[in-house]
Chains A and B, each alone.
Chain A
């Protein structure tokens, strides 16, 4: 199914229950303006979104309901129980239709007549329409009937009218005149009235309906449609009805011959009051009987009979709803019945009658049993959810984000409590000497562990969002910025349905905006420059997302001018970021990496978009805060691509536990390269820096205890435990006291009095109740550098 339709159905289920609830409350307290408003808004939303799909009957019916509610809202009408019945019946009918749409992706064939009878009822109190539109009359109307000339004929040029009238008289032909008055908000529904008009075949004359007074230029709202059209055409009535089928309420069609126009021009005829031609035409159109329709009608009657037979106490709203569906079905079969004042017995009789009457009709059709309405056997009075309408869309819960966060926290607590069991098992063995009990606790633990893991995965899954959420703002951003910069840029997004945790998605927003801005501002050349360089004038920015194990990789690539490594090196040297020696020796790819250094900005001119020197290092810092990494590759003249690697989820962090001077600390496992034990004699010293030689590579070693200001003297005889971590591609060894295991922890940020302590990225609770401080390696390393 079209995702848009699926979403509409899911939303529709919500809206329907909202309307139902509101209407029932309204019936109890019809004077509450807030309630009316609520129902009106729901109906309005419904109408608006239904217009996206090819369900004109649905749009028309919701429109009628909306009009009635609007009249109630504005105080023109007071809601009585009859109207409430009609409204409820209308939304019941819609529910039925949508259930049909959910399975078949189209409205049932009976939708037209069934909806029409309700529309007539709904419009009744508004006085806009006769309550008894007889299909026979409507059918007769569909023939060439000459209407009286409406007053808006004055919009046309009188000379032209005169000429046309003479021509029509002498050829005894007719013409259709259409007045099209779009409503103000139609642009927001992606309607383009002029486009509709341009599609009118055989358009003879087009004129404008201008507003009485144009607003002053400064107050003019370009998104409000103020104009309308009057047109004359030789297109057939059916063509016009079809063309304007989504806006039947905005058009008025009259059929005029020469005499009618002559009379009008001569001023002999008083203007005719506005007739609702469109609706009459709609009835005529829907009256076309076909086999499928008859079969659907038959099915409805059968269902009605069953529900009447099943339920002794059908009453009130429900009964009138059944009655209406019977009436609609009967009308569709061309045997109108009067169900204005239904009671169970007469209705039963009528249904039985109708069924015998129509049975011969579908005889020539294969006797396929009609698809049973999903809930037709459900007891009728059990509540709205059991309506014959059935299920609309798939059930979607809207859950407050906080509740999901809370759930996640609870999962974390469960993990901690679960981890406590392993300590208990150890205690059972060591303190109480019961190996059996220890084993049983461990068994229990493994069962609990499995459930907790699944629970955690399930909760994480709930928090997953597609990357399209993060990408969605870029089409607009790129359009605006490229226009401002006078560059032509095309955006390509790929893999936007890759999923990641909502925290990651949210945190990704700013770095991505930064990178895209950088690309637009510095990377991409103007069209003229591009043409000189032999590239297509329109530049291209590609946003790609791919899942990679437990990480997601987001890449921003452009085909712009790329980064000039020599220029970057020079700039960095000028700013004192690198030494002269580095200027000579840095490889090109390392040079590109210089743009991530704090205080670096390549643009010669600071623009208002980016290039204040707070750029790329901020990106790298915020991505690293998420536990991710940024790398950049660039080819001079060919483009730049920046790759962000982010964990799929930030909720759970894997840390390696080590102890230093008797205290345990956590280090994110992502950073850990290896753990080694070296004899203390192999620890060398180069220029005040402890080093260790590993596989021919000199790795500096930092005494973690000293860096953290914790006095500790290692046992000179014992081997040294060294944890090798990798930061920005460089290896650093950390001298620790002891290695422990890896654990999954829920990291809580440092808050309150400890918030200043940058060397820790957060705290986590271990299974034995111990609070683990997790190190922020970047800060720890700079701390160590300062201590030396």
Chain B
């Protein structure tokens, strides 16, 4: 089928597809003409991460932890404050507008809200054709042909090309969003809470579709979600994010079987278990509220909520030991 013809050369096993080094994104709030001193929100605060070709790397965390911002900054949909982003042999950090636009073929995103991510005033055909036109895909006939192919690839009928987004259900719209992202045969796709808004029975369908497409098209997913259940069933590796930093990175099985960071452990124990027989079991519960990202605590960011915090945790911030393998940013990691 044609999609393999123009695909980028298949990367070697374990090749790093995209990586960040000490990536930060800070926002200024207030501090206008009469606004008083500006406050800085450290949405992403020093993230170093390697994503391997053809893996599904899940990024989990609670709302406000910076996971969505990290995804946007990696694609340079938002500009980083400092740090670098590398895609294959290209440094994306300072790439000019024109070169970046050309590269956008390979770097794609599927959004959370299937109702906000499709222009309500465009037909499906226009929605799918636009990225093709932007990158000079071919003649109008070829573009039309490709739109049909894309629609069928995500399990929708070709007759739907003439329809408008509002005529579809949430699950179908999300399929259209996926088709649009895959139009130019990308190899890196950020899925930002892409199945979170869907009903359970539809969620499984869309996850299966994403899995199939990954196998067929050699895709690498950066899968941003708050849903640990989906992560365990879908991801190869996981990064746990708390207040702008990665606190733990590991393979899915390691991380779920033996979480090392207290935050990871507490997050997991908070997930409601679909098994009423286990509801009486005592389990550790996180206390208190997340500190404000404008006013971070000294030392470990998590110490205000951590049941195991000691003096050093209040004074010194633990750093994530990176080096490809599992890593944890904690002075006293839990025993495996």
Partners in one complex: no
Q: Which residues of B contact A (CB under 8 A)?
A: none
Q: Which residues of A contact B (CB under 8 A)?
A: none
